[in-house]
Structure 1
Amino acid sequence: MPPVVSSTDAPVLHAQPAGVRYGPALTLLASLFFMWGFITVINNTLLPHLRSVFELSYTQTTLIESVWFIAYFVASIPSAKLIERIGYQKSLVAGLLIMAAGACGMMLAASIPSYGVTLVMLFVIASGITLLQVAANPYVAVVGKPETASSRLNLVQALNSAGTMLAPLFGAYLILGRSKGGTATAGTVLTEAERMADAHSVILPYALVAVVLVILAVIIAKFPLPAMGSADSRAAKEERKHLSLWNHRNLVFGVPAIFIYLIAEIGVANLFVNFVSQPDIANLTHEQAGKYLSFLWGGMMVGRFAGSLVMQRFDAGKVLAFFSIGAFAVMMVTVFAHGEVAMWSLILVGLFHSIMFPTIFTLGIKGLGPLTEEGSGLLVMAIAGGALVVVQGWLADNYGLQTSFLLTAACELYVLFYALWGSKPTNAVPPPEATFE
């Protein structure tokens, strides 16, 4: 999943004194990136499972993920306010405990079972993840030497990708592999008793998740994390009064680029299992398809490492254009091909999606100067675009699942437009000088 930077309401952070050892703290924080990536992608195997248990349409199924991303929009500003009040370490603990409460609520939803309670509890989990992201990303950026901040963020984001790669295997084994709907062939009609039994298969995996989250919360609460400084930014505020975000083309077109890209990424991941399970595609059980989903997320991890190396020699906009063309090409193959060709082309889009979020984000804030914080906040809010995956669910219900991926292809074309023209900075201003405690 995409990394999130601090909201505009978060206090400014400062580099810490030399001589402080940050390795243990960074290792601990990296576990948070792994966990929220892991929990987010469990949804990709949970959705086809819930579709079977509650006999949902594709619209109702994708609404589950929409609720997840609405939480990013709703919880980001309150999260920043909470961090200002209680600090970063306590906020990390609070985020983990909120997620654990949501995981326990998922056990309740499975016991009833209830589609409505499931939606509420997934919103709670996503709100906890939002708090973690708003707190952890800026924290990682300053835990150590300023000149290696980018390296640290890339490291923990790679571990986030590792979590997203392993989660489908976990979900396939403990959710889909232990349910009748997950091991049956496409088109099998389950009895009422079988659907109720399948609902209970969610209890064990979420119980394990809740236990791990509570243990992490206890460890972080007791861990001597380096204290982060808080700054007086009145001078920067005075300078910002004379500037406008809307004068920066790269940001104006970058916000919808993030919004639209998220529709593509989330739509592919959420409908992957249902798509490759179809008889004319790969004819797999949901359990088998869930394992193939790991290849899609693994491709994103590989692409991030490769993309970071390539962009050391080539312009980021040109690299983004190349990747968006590749994504458009494989999506068109997915729409019009059949059999395993269509399945592998859909898997390949993970490789081409890999660099999109961080590259769009970087291009979007380029040249904003003292407006960088506000611009970053707008780009964070745009992550809520993942909620519009429900549009693809509606297309799948009315025009067919395979045809619905034309929406994904259209999203890739907007990213191409942004890479070639929309990302070019206008009215660029120099960034403010950094201040350290």
Structure 2
Amino acid sequence: MRTTIAATLLAGIATFGTGIAAAETLTIATVNNADMVVMQKLSPKFKEKTGIDLNWVILEENVLRQRVTTDIATKGGQFDVVTIGAYETPIWGKQNWLAALDDLGDSYDYKDVFEPVRNMLTVNGKLYAAPFYAESSFTYYRKDLFDKAGLTMPEQPTYTDIKKFAAALHKPADNQYGICLRGKPGWGENMAYVGTLVNTFGGRWFDMEWKPQLTSPEWKEAVTFYVDMLKNYGPPGATSNGHNENRALFSSGNCAMWVDATAAAGHIYNPAESKVADKTAFAKAPIAKVENGAGWGWAWALGVPNSSKKAAAAKQFIAWATSKDYITLVGETQGWVSAPPGTRKSTYENPEYKKAAPFADTVLKAILAADPTRPTAQPVPYAGIQFVAIPEFQGIGAQVGQSIAAALSGQTTVDQALQTAQSAVERTMKQAGYIK
């Protein structure tokens, strides 16, 4: 039998809407992404409304995942609200590690949330985390540089196109790099991108017998392409660059192209945050041999650990932070271009948002097109596009991410990195009982 993550936590959740003491303090663990920084900035509005104090723990993505996973699996009770994603939520919901969020009130308007986004965070008909923003991935590019070089980005670029464009626009003497891609190791950092690359090169993580496929020709071709691309046309020190670092490079004008999360579009297009707001255009995520899994599907969401003793107050905060009213607050105070994307129909029906965010339709189409049930061209026993929806993947993805980063930094070859990764994943899958 497969191993479980840990014993089920004891639930002890107060009912939403009961009386809450004014002096109550919630501890919120979240990621240091730009949208969450805005949430913290606007959170005094929540305190004014409720009298509830907020203690923020803002962490880099890899650290956040380690801290939250450890706390929730050991019943630590450090956090009342946690920022988790489309990977953790269904797994932790099944383990009874999270409080169900089906009691946020009629005004919450669950039906306004896009169904595919709700489905990412739902187990047996119950929502276990409320989406703060949702995303797929696509291609950001500098239209001014393309025009100057006489290049035209197709609506659906191929990786052959991307390599050609990167070579033409790579001018490191001018601090202009042909392309920026995630290189920082982590299952949600470099492997989020590399996973989609492997998909579109025709590869898969596991065959139908759960045997790892990391030494397959498709993995070798995809990872070789990735390493060569960043070594030849990327910025120096790419293994230190995750989503936030690359967003800073692109918004500062140092990247001709960037393939990453659609959620960053509002920040790249915001002149208060970006030097290239009026010079950036967007295209679909590139494809190689197949279209399956070229663009990922993800939601960052807010959940309540069952170990929290302040569930009622925590649910009140989540209802506020993921509501239509919160999105309006962001739009009116930070600019509509900065509104959290991808979650609510009302956002994409709002003429102010559509006027401020010309990328809105492209982003929405990418999110709705992502199909975690068909992530690869070959049959697979798992769901998930840039991750595999099994408990063991968090450790597996971290291990493989380290191996890929070692190849990128020149510490090992692609072949050696993939063989090391294959051996490690095989051990994990045998120990967990997937492989007999």
The TM-score, its normalising length taken from structure 1, stands at: 0.30
Higher helix share: 1
Higher strand share: 2
